[in-house]
Structure 1
């Protein structure tokens, strides 16, 4: 929530010409406290930055990303930027709140190495200060656990309990447990399904009695959802605070009246059950969840809403009823096993993007069966689609979300935008296109990926067949899961699909009984065993029913550490798992608990290694200057040291090569071709291909697993989406936010594979050599997975000297010998460079890659040097401007 702040004029006036006097400690921690006033301090020297704008944001302002809000802009005074405001009674920012500085057009800055107050990549305000306060947990009908910080009365009369209905309950007993933890006994039993508050009137302290006390101990191992076994059907739903759950059965999805309504029975663990001595395959169903009309509740009595099953196998387009369906027989496993993490070359691809322009029948265009359609070629006779992907040589296909996800209703969407020129140009005037990061039903396969004309549920077999097709070719399949938020609260909307209506207080992190979260809500896995189980169940489920080989976890930093540890154990250590460590929770209790909160240094899964990414090819949030915004590969010489750390896996959080997964671009932000798309950062017709190839070389000569953005091998650009912010509203009032090609999550045309570029060489109007770039990338995959590439595919920390770096004075140049077997020379300068007195280990060294080609079998031609080098003696080697060369020892 925004809070108005007051800039203190006298501070600024006193600082002009003289500089505000802050201690070194205050400067390093990024803030200073003077009585009721707080100053944020951004020091250019510490950050080694000279920005044009500095803004502070953090949990205290909901991590608002608006760079133009003057209330949060710092003012430049000498070499420092200052923002001062009144923080009396901590009304603006409270102790332990996390914050970060952003500069220029929105670049996020991580804390510096000298910052003493850091947590999970953020700065922390008054990290060691704890204010007097009260926290309460409803344990059961006869017990409240209270945590009293500060003066703690032990007289029962000092406490009062009130209900949301306005009733007052006296306290009959108080006993201390630890220094602050306290047992509170109500005089009369409470109804633990209702809302209560605990008060200490003399200290003006009040607290909601959270449900953590009994929720953290409520657990069931019963199989949830609708399941058919031996001709009998069971339906189970976990709804711990419901007073009644009704199950409705329908013969058709559009039926307005159920043919049967069942009052489900609750067991001792909050699981509601119904059993049938018959096979209900194909029957449609939903529920009503009944409960008290207390604040924060969204039960039927308040909303009159029917809810769907979060465990359903079939949800036809999110809205409305679900369908009971048989279990799916999984694909057979990979014959040679799942690739070890260090061997992974993952290829991220979106089903619709990959298939929209394939020459296939309209019934499967943009849908699952088109992904594995064989024998497809473009007008040049080049392989496209499935055959193209196999030819590329990756060993893992990483599918962007295929779990049922939210689309806005087509009727409303089309009526709103069918004549809108902008929406027409982006390919989204007829229906809502999405990447899928808004899961509505985690166990169901996205039904818009089903063949047109097939009945709801058939998408399950189609997805299983996709997995089988890749397995038959020796390629692993992983899926992108989105457990950190759900579709129910996206884009400022508040829908009731399942969790909101089943029990918002159980499944989500809340504050004052309402949602928190940068994406509308945050799913709560800590202190919620059944939400924790929901995450683990969905992963086990996709393995058991489809045979997939692993997961990429979206915004994994919002999932508690213990859940991720349990997940890996439950699915098996052979499964591929990686995810995003950034963007933590907006719940300060989560962030303050080291058993839940984590970042790269204590990551329970392989994390996206953004430090290497930024060093290799530059930042992801802005593109303004080709010399500074394309990393070392683009000519930013100051990044050379960071490049070397990335290559040898020596970033501070890297414990082993498998700690992080290295990448250049991914679905978020700008594509690699646009980043290297000349002065205008537009890769559609003119990519700086030599710089591009140097970045690719850095990627493929790094230790540990790799993930690539699908289409980068043919320089796929997204610049068809104009770089401007556009907000649209449907006729029913749903907001639509379009960000252009910096974030094309809902731009269809910009994301589509331009299959006609496969095999295309430069033309008068387009200098991009797509044919050569594909061949280069294919060669790099072959090199990486060859015997030579084993030097990069190691699981344990490399010994000292594994990379022997050659670092000429000119930082445009870099060389390295890896494990005495692979030799790389790179030059990002615009003039030819000679590496003097290079000493290679004795032996014959074959040139297998340069700017023109990669060929590990025959080697590549080279005009400047012999095709082979002789090791064992000192020699000079010349590299062309913006050039690369790789040799291998034979």
Structure 2
């Protein structure tokens, strides 16, 4: 049987007789045997290369290249559907292995098993492990935090190393998975930091930047003092999709350690009631020619143009052909593996536009049916460059009624303006942005969603300018605050290195301690994320926004090292009123279902516009329909530099958010038909 995939410029033909439906690719461990299966239908011969466990943990000890010891070559047997397999009796735990393929033209390749679940340092070899030996104490009793609806989530995007690497964290496991297990940490003024800070803040899920094994960080050269730009990365350079990154483990040279410590991190977060989202990058790989995909089946895993050249819709050198049967299967197997073996609670898809819509719909249905309906799935509904995928790209609108959500860049731009420049939005001083904000406030149901469960509402993420720096750009303060500028060759303008540039910068030069909430930049930041946290949909915060985190104007800090990226925990005591405001807004959202309506119909029936003009947007929510104890709620945003007065329905209104104070406690009561909203702020009030 032949299946055909039509692209705009090409037709790819796949023989489904060479596709496999089983769920046992890779290694299957039995009590007294070990079975290997690999899919490589075009190979003429396949051998399993088996290396004994290394005495000192070094993969090089038994490397073919070192000449110290040749591997044991075990022929694999060909089955139907492109499968090669071999089963061996005995206990092979700790042994390293590779797959050697020989093709009809005599070409020979040696590859790491793409289904490998453990690897040596820097991913040079696969390793045989018994996964049950990697479970930390209490793992079998681990419970996934409950989530009735995606809109009940409050997402917090975070890089594992950034979380703990700064000296101000004073953590034992700086830069490691285990930093999330450290509790009871306080700063000099008694403020919680680390995982207790996350609990206090009230977020429901930590969204971790890629934590699968990635390529460009040397796991042998990472320690707590290493801030070299050349050995830091966000992880968007996939190497092995089914193995945790080793640089975040205490021992990257012990294959089981990274697995056990990743699970320990998940367990610690779950015990705090916090779910774990994995940022996954199935749209491209770090390398093409040297990838296991290409070595095992040349030309199959990557999209090509009509002339046979590989397409590059990712902007990073290649794009994975997700629409092909075995590629789709690999992705679905991989996410389900993470959800089941590691108890991961959701997945964020990088450049989801390059993943075909059928794959996204299939994996969402599979995870929700076979793992948990609470699994969160969302991604970027765009690509980077032109792709032959064409109409099958997963773009805004393609997620409708399909069980996953997309980032709402329309709302993002309406609130803050462009991502890397001085362009303004509603919260940063633009005129005429009220209508677009109003569309976003209602969960984009008149834009591209069928329900608010399908929109990720945010203003900034790890890439582009973070919120504090973006607001500074819009206010013309880039030079005044001494932000970093780079030359075309990547060198820092006016400084010898990045560290010197950071030392010379004054990102909070205009913030008067003791009067933090009176600062205009601070108020614009609070307004921007205040809109996110009170709108219908799924709110998403970038780590450190609640601490006025700066990256010193670095808009693409993926290789800028700890000196730019590390979260500086001393900012909590410095900007405690800002943290308290975020915590109050999150508490408000989680306590009152009127901010978390589930359906388009509920939004249409229970949200009413009150004012939309000249930097002011105000609306009323009816709480009774969602079972809220507050019968009516008014939310008002004022982005103008002066206070504004608007007419409101006559009632006794209890103000719970106003001028830097936020929560569920009553600040004051308003009786009558008018409300004065302070400049650059938001007000929330209710009547019962």
Q: TM-score, normalised by structure 1?
A: 0.65
Q: Give the distance between the partners of 2:296 and 2:118, measured in 1 at CA.
A: 18
Alignment of 1:519-530 (within 5 A): 519-526=316-323, 528-530=324-326
**What residue ranges of structure 1 are gaps of 5+ in the alignment?**
1-138, 150-206, 294-300, 415-423, 724-740, 761-769, 861-866
The structure with the largest helix share of the pair is: 2
Alpha-carbon displacement from aligned partner over 1:679-714 (angstroms, at most 9, x marks no partner)? 224582147011111112211111021111111111
Deviations 1:386-415 (A, max 9, x none): 11111110111111111111125478x99x
User: Using a 3 Å threshold, how does the CA distance of structure 1 residues 342 and 855 change in structure 2: closer, same or farther?
Assistant: closer
Task: Show the counterpart of 1:885.
Answer: 683
Separation of aligned partners in 1, 2:453 and 2:582? 22
Determine if the alignment matches structure 1 residue 340 to structure 2 residue 149: yes
Q: Distance in 2 between matches of 1:323 and 1:363?
A: 28
Mapping of 1:101-500 within 5 angstroms?
Answer: 212-215=13-16, 218-251=19-52, 252=54, 253-254=59-60, 255=62, 256=64, 257-293=69-105, 301-302=106-107, 305-328=109-132, 329=135, 332-334=141-143, 337-357=146-166, 364-407=173-216, 409=218, 427-428=227-228, 432-452=231-251, 455-489=254-288, 494=289, 496-500=290-294
- How far has the Cα of 1:780 moved from its partner? 0.7
- Mapped to 1, the partners of 2:243 and 2:181 lie a distance apart of 20
Aligned to 1:675: 470
Partner residue in 2 for 1:753: 567
Alignment partner for residue 535 of structure 1, among 331, 334, 352?
Answer: 331
Q: CA deviation at 1:803?
A: 2.3
CA deviation after TM superposition for structure 1 residue 508, in Å: 1.1
Aligned residue in 2 for 1:815: 618
Question: 1:338·1:549 contact (CA, 8 Å) conserved in 2?
Answer: no
Higher relative contact order (CA 8 A, sep 6+): 2
Structure 2 unaligned segments of length 5 or more: list them: 484-505, 512-520, 623-630
Q: Hey, what's the Cα distance between the residues in 2 that align with 1:242 and 1:631? A: 56
Determine the C-alpha separation between the residues in 2 that align with 1:799 and 1:781. 20
Structure 1 pair 361/451, CA: closer, same or farther in 2 (3 Å)?
farther
Q: Does the 8 Å CA contact 2:355/2:394 hold for their aligned counterparts?
A: no
Q: How does 1:832-843 map to 2 (within 5 A)?
A: 832-835=643-646, 837-840=647-650, 842=651
For residues 653-692 of structure 1, the aligned pairs below 5 Å read 653-677=448-472, 678-681=475-478, 684-685=507-508, 686=510, 688-692=521-525
Whether the aligned pair in 2 keeps the contact of 1:832 and 1:880 (CA below 8 Å) is yes
Hey, what does 2:439 align to over in structure 1?
A: 645
**Residue of structure 1 equivalent to 2:627:** none
Query: SS of the counterpart of 2:397?
Result: helix
Matches of 1:238 and 1:789 in 2, distance apart? 49
Partner Cα separation in structure 1 for residue 90 and residue 260 of structure 2: 23
For residue 754 of structure 1, give the secondary structure of its aligned residue in structure 2: coil
In 1, distance between residues paired with 2:130 and 2:434? 56
Q: Deviations over 1:289-342 (max 9, x none)?
A: 21144xxxxxxx55x652111111112344421211112455645366235211
1:546 CA drift (Å):
1.2
**DSSP 3-state at the match of 1:780:** helix
Is the 1:633–1:691 contact (alpha carbons within 8 Å) kept by the matching residues of 2? Answer: yes
Aligned residue in 1 for 2:527 = 694
The answer to whether the aligner puts 1:850 opposite 2:683 as a matched pair is no
Note the 1:565-580 alignment, pairs <5 A.
Answer: 565-572=361-368, 573-580=373-380
Tell whether the 8 Å contact from 1:829 to 1:881 is kept in structure 2 after alignment.
yes
Contact 1:236 1:273 in 2 (8 A): yes
**In 2, are the aligned partners of 1:332 and 1:468 still within 8 Å (CA)?**
no
Partner of 1:29: none
Of residues 380, 402, 416, the one that matches 1:617 is 416
Distance 1:363 1:473, change over 3 A: closer
Residues 618, 586 of structure 1: CA spacing in aligned structure 2 closer, same or farther, 3 A cutoff? Answer: closer
- Partner of 1:233, secondary structure, is strand
CA distance in structure 2 between the aligned counterparts of 1:774 and 1:498, rounded to whole angstroms: 45
**Offset, 1:598:** 3.4
Contact 1:358 1:385 in 2 (8 A): no
Give the distance between the partners of 1:670 and 1:146, measured in 2 at CA.
39
Provide the aligned C-alpha RMSD in A: 2.8
| Distance of aligned partners of 1:307 and 1:357 in 2 relative to their CA distance in 1, 3 Å threshold | same
Measured after TM superposition, the shift of residue 547 of structure 1 is 1.1
Q: Is the 8 A contact 1:317 1:446 kept in 2?
A: no
2:546 is the counterpart of 1:713:
yes
Change (3 A) 1:562 1:308: same
Whether the 8 Å contact between 2:615 and 2:639 is mirrored in structure 1 is yes
Larger Rg over CA atoms: 1
Contact preservation (8 Å) 1:317, 1:407: no
How far did 1:364 drift? 2.5
Give the CA deviation at 1:807.
Answer: 2.3
For 2:232, what is the secondary structure of its paired residue? coil
Cα distance, 1:481–1:332 mapped onto 2, change above 3 Å: farther
Q: Is the 8 Å Cα contact of residues 241 and 291 (structure 1) preserved in structure 2?
A: yes
What is the distance in 1 between the residues matched to 2:318 and 2:98?
23
Cα 1:808–1:465, aligned 2, differ >3 Å: closer, same or farther?
closer
Q: Is the 8 A contact 1:807 1:813 kept in 2?
A: yes
**In the TM superposition, what is the alpha-carbon distance from 1:233 to its structure 2 partner?**
0.6
**How far does residue 879 in structure 1 lie from its aligned partner after superposition?**
2.2
Rounded to whole Å, the distance in 2 between the matches of 1:808 and 1:666 is 28
**How far did residue 497 of structure 1 move?**
3.5
CA displacement 1:221-275 (0-9 Å, x = unmatched): 1411123122311111111111111111112321133441111111111111111
Partner secondary structure for residue 438 of structure 2? helix
Q: Secondary structure at the match of 2:451?
A: coil
The TM-score with structure 2 as length reference comes to 0.83
Secondary structure of the residue that 2:299 maps to in structure 1? helix
SS of aligned partner of 1:540: helix
Q: Determine if contact 2:617/2:636 at 8 Å carries over to the other structure.
A: yes
SS in structure 1 of the partner of residue 458 of structure 2: coil
Residue 23 of structure 1 corresponds to none
SS of the residue aligned with 1:504?
coil
Q: CA deviation at 1:499?
A: 0.9
Q: What is the SS of the residue equivalent to 1:442?
A: strand
Report if the CA contact (8 A) 2:211-2:235 is conserved.
yes
1:353 Cα offset (Å): 0.7
